[in-house]
Amino acid sequence: MAFDDPTPPQIGHGVAVLVELPKHAGLNGVLSYRTTQPLAAGQLLRVPLGRRVVCGIAWGDDASGGAPQQGLGAAPTASDMAAPVLRDVAEALDALPPLDAAWRDLVTFAAAYYQRSTGELALSVLPADLRELDGPALQRRLRRLDKRLGRTPPSAPKKRRGKAVPEDEVTPDPVPPPDIEPPALPDLSDEQQAVLDALAACGAEPVLLHGVTGSGKTEVYLRRVAAALEAGRQALLLVPEINLTPQLEARIRARFPGRVTVAMHSGLGPAERLQNWLAAHLGWADIVLGTRMAVFASMPRLGLIVVDEEHDPSYKQQEGARYSARDLAVWRARHQGVAVILGSATPSLETWHNALPVPEGNGRYRRLAMPTRIGAGVLPQVRLIDLTRLKEQFGAKQLRDQPFAPPLLAALRERLDRGEQSLVLLNRRGYAPVLHCTACGWKSDCPHCSAWRVFHKLDRTLRCHHCGHAERVPRACPSCGDPDIQPVGRGTERLEEQLAAALPGARIGRIDADTTRAKGSLEAQLAQVHDGDIDVLVGTQMVAKGHDFRRITLVASLQADAALFSSDFRAPERLFALLMQAGGRAGRDAAQAARSELWIQTWHPQHPLYAALTAHDYPTFAAGQLLERQQAGLPPFAHLALLRCEARTQEAAVAFLAELARRAAELQTQQPAWAAILVYPPVPPSVQRVANVERAQMLVESPSRPALQRFLAAWLPSFQDEARQPGTRVLRWAVDVDPLAI
């Protein structure tokens, strides 16, 4: 510290400790404590904080030489001179090895990149139970884990509790190779073999594995996992959704008997979550399979990261620290010098751009392609139905009452007659998105949000999908009393009803967020489909992901067009991925592949997206999109950050962001390197009010990622307490770096 005030000499020495404090506490979550024994960086601790004792992480020696660290920019005051004495570390959880340097670097980077405090981020990615345990409780959990994994015979004394070792010399013992008969391996296609040869040769360079649905990407992953395990390393596999982990987990366990595989996702209970985390951290787990949170798993022997379906938006955390697990996976792999495979049939444009060679792309990743479906399966034939012609032919009313083109209906009937299954996609749940009074024009708006309440016919409710507000459907218009209130538009419930009317005798099923609310009900309903109890399945996009429906030979998408003209610049990319993925559901049985079809009803059949889809030509689609992005100054050619603000009034939210913008302009005049950064005026988001909270947002765009990073780091911290000043009626504000949607 700059003042040479005589701090009273202290026994022991200071240690910097990470605690769970948010950034607006002004301390980046680092506090100083006193300790009598040296503590390795990464060591888990219990430390007193206010009236509580909380979990902390030793973060190196105290840089300030024992004096408490002050908040950023805090002026020296009399209380500085008083130099409060540091409090003692309550306990070191030394039954656990410290979190290693690679892990600490990862959370340090992630916190800085996504503009959160290091303490908040580091602690929030540890299992909740771990943050609450003291030494004895931890010992009990460790014994339970020992028993579960059969690591030690019950009678044998443990010999793992070493004295604190200098942490970077900690090298956990690889698990002895399993002495269990390995299962027979499936034969590899030439394509798979070629990709595996290339992967074996390309070391730690990030790889995009661009493989169509059914080309056998998973087998490639498993071979690389096997290679990592044989080298004594751990493998980390990321998947987008919890739904997809049980299938893959079973396949991995069968493939690697004797190896330890653990799952990490939000569906696990707190106890199991801790056990699995401990198993990974101690190096006992060989394979970690999880959703985005698993990118932060502590893995001392990490040797491979796989990000399956890397384009999937679920990899972006949408609250708190808004990190991209895919991007962090690439950073982590690069930082640790391990291989990372990003797999997708429809890569994100960012990844695709990184994988294209210069000059089309930037050549940062190696691109490996698997364009062929295994077992001679061909991709489904794409059929476009021109709704404009249909309307001319049949009239608007007919179209509304029975929303299937006659040829599509005939195709559905044909499947029915042959005992095959069909999947109809509609990305809107409920019966109708809005109710409308024909007499006075009233619509079913939500009293708390700027959105319509959706009509759910089955439980006779009007429900707001934003705030959850639900009411019984009124018999008459609440505004004028007229009994003639009509559903407008169509959701999955209505589609189910219309299909039942159009296909008498067909067994119609529906899967969406409403039918799968109960735990395990998705699995049960999928099983029904697999067992052939359903002829036509209606669903939202949740059914398009990852599930194999071997007997489905027709997939239809009824209302895809919205994405073509959406203000969300990623909408076309998502639509293309969804339709490719949905089409991939069909015809995975070679015998049926020949007659499997993907039907799309559209008002714009000439749109280039559909042309590329018809040709199953992702590269052409991507090239077109990249050109548009470049012309519009959008990612991956520009880098974005989105500032969001919530307040009681729209004026307050906008005023707060405007003040931020004013300070940004000041900063930009001081620093020429930031002149190219654009700070757009604050605007309301598409849904401006949710649960009576007004929201505003402001876009920041920069041609250079490092410049954006430095700019945000200089700009935002000066605002940490702006929102708390009296008169600023701001509830919350936050920045979203690399937002998915603007």
Partner DNA sequence: AGCACGCCGACT
Partner DNA sequence: GTCGGCGTGCTC
Applying CB under 7 A, the residues found at the interface with DNA are 20-22, 24-27, 31-34, 47-52, 68-71, 84, 86-87, 726, 732
In what order do the strands lie in the sheet containing 421-425?
A: 381-386, 597-602, 552-557, 421-425, 536-539, 508-511
What's the min distance (Å) between Cβ of 732 and DNA? 7
In the complex with DNA, the residue whose CB is nearer, 115 or 261, is 115
Q: How far is the CB of 130 from DNA (least distance, A)?
A: 15
Nearest approach in angstroms of CB 110 to DNA is 18
The single-letter DSSP state of residue 395 is -
In three-state secondary structure terms, 538 is strand
User: Closest separation between CB of residue 66 and DNA, Å?
Assistant: 10
Q: Exposed (0-12), middle (13-18) or buried (19+): which is 413, by Cβ within 10 Å? A: middle
Number of other residues whose CB lies within 10 A of the CB of residue 322: 20
Closer of 31 and 735 to DNA (Cβ): 31
101-113 vs 325-336: helix crossing angle, rounded to 10: 140
Q: Has 202 been labeled as part of a binding site?
A: no
Q: In this complex, which beta carbon is closest to DNA, that of residue 71 or of residue 183?
A: 71
CB-based contact 315:293 (threshold 8 Å): no
Distances (CA, A) of 164 to 11, 14, 38, 96: 21, 18, 9, 10
Strand 434-437, strand 470-472: pairing: unpaired
Residues 277 and 225 sit within 8 Å (Cβ to Cβ): no
Q: Is 645 among the annotated ligand-binding positions?
A: no
DSSP for residue 458 = T
Residue 92 or 477: which CB sits closer to DNA? 92
Smallest separation (angstroms) from DNA to the CB of 24: 5
CB of 319 to DNA, least distance (A): 11
55 labelled binding-site residue: no
| Strand 366-370 relative to strand 207-211, pairing | parallel
Residues 6+ apart with CB under 8 A from 343: 208, 209, 211, 217, 220, 221, 306, 307, 308, 309, 310
Distance, CA of 550 to CA of 566 (rounded, Å) = 33
Residue 686 class from Cβ within 10 Å (0-12 exposed, 13-18 middle, 19+ buried)?
A: middle
Q: Which is nearer to DNA, 91 or 589 (CB)?
A: 91
Answer yes or no: is 449 a known binding residue.
Answer: yes
Of 248, 334, 283, the closest CA to residue 99 belongs to 283
Query: At its nearest, how many Å lie between DNA and the CB of residue 64?
Result: 8
Cβ nearer to DNA, comparing 86 with 138: 86
Residue 694 host element (H or E) = strand 693-702
3 state SS of 251: helix
In whole angstroms, how close is the CB of 276 to DNA at the nearest point? 23
- The pair of three-digit structure tokens given for residue 264, joined into one six-digit string: 């990490």
Q: Which residues are annotated as a binding site?
A: 437, 440, 446, 449, 464, 467, 477, 480
Binding residues for Zn(2+): 437, 440, 446, 449, 464, 467, 477, 480
